[in-house]
Amino acid sequence: MAEKPIILGIETSCDETAVSIIKDNDNGVPEILSNIISSQFDVHKEFGGVVPELAARSHVEKIDLIAKKAIKDSGVSLNSISAISATYGPGLIVCLSVGLSFAKGLSSTLGIPFIGVNHLEGHALSPKLHDKIQYPYLLLLISGGHSQYLSVNGLGNYKRLGTTIDDALGEAFDKTAKLLGIEFPGGPKIEEYARKGDPNKYELPKPIINKGGCNLSFAGLKTAILRITKKIKTDQEKFDLAASFQKTIEDILIIKTKVAFDEFKKLNSNNSGSFVVAGGVAANKGIRKKLIELSNKNNFNPIFPDLKLCGDNAAMIAMVGLEKFKNKQFDSLDLPASPRLPLDKNAKFLKGAGVVL
Ligand code: KG4
Ligand code: ZN
């Protein structure tokens, strides 16, 4: 019997240096042999956000070591790796370039195929590392840079149903956290604060809730929170504001997801299917609980990546690499980094003023 393909994945699109090795399996769910993630949390925390040049320098310093560790932990020899896959966009160009160059060098030295991967497709396919999922499925991608509903019709085949017209959801969590005096990235901390507060204490806006299909908007929330934070003094008031924010987000996602369910069914002969929620914000327990309840009520099968696969990682990049490898979709070594790479190439740019909903 032929050996199963083994893929090495590399992720350096933002502030995580990550390398992973996965192996295909007979049961259709690959085995993660190693999954090393080195976060740059300490490099950027004093700046309240990711500083591209510092991020790129840190990738350069660490990539070799992280790759060596991933290979050692996997227990496989370099010679048994079938292909190298790496994120080529979207992301910070100086960061993408580090992982890409490293991947291309490795592929050329080992004489094996190089496969460029869209970071967002990595998130989209991340639960395939532990669940068998049939195409088409509905995807809600919620991360630090993106918030989109998509119909995932196949590998590389996406139809965007809705997107944010301003801030991404992770960005909204991080901005709220900053206003509450929490260090970047504050998303996870907001959840902790929310557990100690009263979700009904503050009424917050739900922008474009009854219009614009399943498009999303979060910028108005930040303005409202800024106004409230100027008046609050006690820790309890901070907890109440975090709880009110968390509840508002859950309410928005419940309403917009119902619209997305209908749009997905319209596109797919009225069939439901799996509903995958991926990206860093998919780690939020409150959102997970609410969207699982909603899916069950609406005949969709909810699937969330394991918590360690929600944030940026290289196993998801290797997962896409594996599917492309099986289709013999290889890239040439002059594939450039693509900082604004979309998932649905036909979707219109919706960001900014002048959007007619
Ligand atoms: O997917 P990801 O790791 O990176 C991007 O591709 O953007 O997502 C990072 C985002 C950050 O904004 C972070 O605050 C948010 O995900 N996040 C959370 C939680 N964990 C991470 N937001 C809300 N609740 C969480 N538990
Ligand atoms: Zn990401």
Q: Is residue 336 part of a domain?
A: no
Q: Is residue 278 part of a domain?
A: yes
**Cα of 94 from ligand 2 centre, angstroms:** 16
**Nearest C-alpha neighbor of 85 from the set 338, 315, 342, 317:** 317
Looking at ligand 1, which residue's alpha carbon is closest to its atom 1?
280
Same domain membership, residue 185 and residue 159: yes
**pLDDT tens-digit profile of 144-176?**
999 999 999 999 999 999 999 999 999 999 999
Average pLDDT over residues 295-323: 97
> What is the Cα gyration radius of the chain?
20
Same domain membership, residue 259 and residue 141: yes
Instruction: Determine the residue of 44, 245, 281, 313 to mutate for testing ligand 1's pocket, defined as the one with the most ligand atoms within 8 A of the Cβ atom.
Output: 281
Lowest average pLDDT, out of 54-58, 87-91, 346-350, goes to 346-350
Same domain membership, residue 286 and residue 237: yes
**pLDDT tens-digit profile of 183-194?**
877 899 999 999
What percentage of residues in the chain have a pLDDT greater than 90? 89
- What value does the mean pLDDT of the chain take? 94
* pLDDT of amino acid 185: 78
Same domain membership, residue 314 and residue 292: no
Whether the Cβ atoms of residue 74 and residue 27 lie closer than 8 Å to each other: no
Q: Is residue 335 part of a domain?
A: no
- Name the pTM for this structure: 0.95
> Quick one: which ligand is closest to 193's CA?
1
* pLDDT of amino acid 158: 98
Average pLDDT over residues 199-213: 97
**Nearest C-alpha neighbor of 286 from the set 273, 274, 277:** 277
Same domain membership, residue 300 and residue 165: yes
Q: Could you tell me which residues come within 8 angstroms of residue 234 by beta carbon, excluding any fewer than 6 positions away? A: none
* pLDDT of amino acid 204: 98
Is the pLDDT at 82 greater than 60, yes or no?
A: yes
Same domain membership, residue 256 and residue 200: yes
| 333: number of Cβ within 10 Å | 12
Q: Is residue 184 part of a domain?
A: yes
> Quick one: which ligand is closest to 307's CA?
1
| Ligand 1 pocket residue status of 58, Cβ below 6 Å | no
Same domain membership, residue 295 and residue 152: yes
Same domain membership, residue 147 and residue 183: yes
| Ligand 1 pocket residue status of 40, Cβ below 6 Å | no
Which ligand 1 atom lies nearest to the CA of residue 185? 14
CATH code, 210: 3.30.420.40
How many domains does the chain divide into? 2
**Cα of 177 from ligand 1 centre, angstroms:** 12
Which ligand 1 atom lies nearest to the CA of residue 177? 14
**Cα of 117 from ligand 2 centre, angstroms:** 12
Same domain membership, residue 233 and residue 167: yes
| Ligand 1 pocket residue status of 91, Cβ below 6 Å | no
| 199: number of Cβ within 10 Å | 17
d(CA 277, CA 160): 14
Average pLDDT over residues 205-216: 97
* pLDDT of amino acid 349: 66
Q: Is residue 198 part of a domain?
A: yes
Same domain membership, residue 291 and residue 274: yes
**pLDDT tens-digit profile of 24-63?**
998 989 999 999 999 887 877 777 778 888 999 999 999 9
* pLDDT of amino acid 326: 97
Parent domain of 185: 135-304
Q: Is residue 97 part of a domain?
A: yes
Q: Is residue 16 part of a domain?
A: yes
Left if phi > 0, otherwise alpha if psi is -120 to 50, otherwise beta: which for 66? alpha
Same domain membership, residue 291 and residue 170: yes
d(CA 293, CA 285): 12
Same domain membership, residue 175 and residue 257: yes
